[in-house]
Amino acid sequence: SQTIHQWPATLVQPVGSPLSLECTVEGTSNPNLYWYRQAAGRGLQLLFYSVGIGQISSEVPQNLSASRPQDRQFILSSKKLLLSDSGFYLCAWSRRGPGGELFFGEGSRLTVL
Amino acid sequence: QKEVEQDPGPLSVPEGAIVSLNCTYSNSAFQYFMWYRQYSRKGPELLMYTYSSGNKEDGRFTAQVDKSSKYISLFIRDSQPSDSATYLCAMILLSGNTPLVFGKGTRLSVIA
């Protein structure tokens, strides 16, 4: 069966510090990978998605970046965090081809102070 | 006009009630429709997945799709306090490599 792991689960960071959130998927190959952000009281905002190693599509201009160094690894980064980066970050994967239902990780709650 | 509209609630019902959650959409090219359930501080989990117009039932849950009206619904029968969560509708075009489009979610509370 497929599983998705995301870490860290919770982190508190000062403004201007770097960020690295990591996500890995097990039990499948060539998945589509996604990073979402969910701010309090708001819906899911798609940040990045990837259909293959080194292929990243950005949906929203911001100070975040994503990388996919391996087939089942997806990393969300920032060089300098802003207060507005606080939120609940979710990694997700889907199979290739029609259908495309997403399977989410447990999320990472980021508080920037 | 947003692609997917969903009333954010909150919706509060007594235990045992029938709950109706709805989404409307504007793009007639959407072909696959999903409902996700998200408990507080957790990732969303896939609840229902439908392709064609009509009804799909799974236990106490029924998903309904009306493509002619661009309207989807999720019904919960005999609602339980454990159903208290945020419910998000999602839909996708026929091509599998385009991202899902989500509604903003409806927060449901089932009161014992």
pLDDT band at B93 (very low <50, low <70, confident <90, very high): confident
pLDDT band at B76 (very low <50, low <70, confident <90, very high): very high
Burial class (CB in 10 A: 0-12, 13-18, 19+), B69: exposed
Omega before B8 cis (within 30°)? no
pLDDT in tens, B12-70: 999 999 999 999 999 988 889 999 999 999 999 999 999 888 999 999 999 999 999 99
A/B interface, count of CB pairs below 8 Å:
66
| Contact: A101, B46; criterion CB under 8 Å | yes
**Residue located via tokens 């029968």:** B77
Q: Is 60 exceeded by the pLDDT of residue B75? A: yes
With contact defined as beta carbons under 8 Å apart, do B23 and B5 qualify?
Answer: yes
Cα–Cα distance for residue pair A77/A79, rounded to 1 Å: 7
**Residue located via tokens 């508080």:** A111
| Contact: A98, B105; criterion CB under 8 Å | no
Q: Does A26 touch chain B (CB under 8 A)?
A: no
Q: Spell out the per-residue pLDDT of chain A, length 113, in tens.
A: 889 999 999 999 999 999 999 999 999 999 999 999 998 767 899 999 999 999 999 888 678 999 999 999 999 999 999 999 999 999 999 988 776 789 999 999 999 99
Distances (CA, A) of A103 to A2, A68, A91, A109, B47: 9, 18, 9, 18, 11
Q: Does A58 touch chain B (CB under 8 A)?
A: no
Residue B51's pLDDT is what?
Answer: 85
Q: Is 60 exceeded by the pLDDT of residue B10? A: yes
Q: Does A105 touch chain B (CB under 8 A)?
A: yes
Mutate to test the interface with B, among A28, A44, A108 (most CBs of B within 10 A): A44
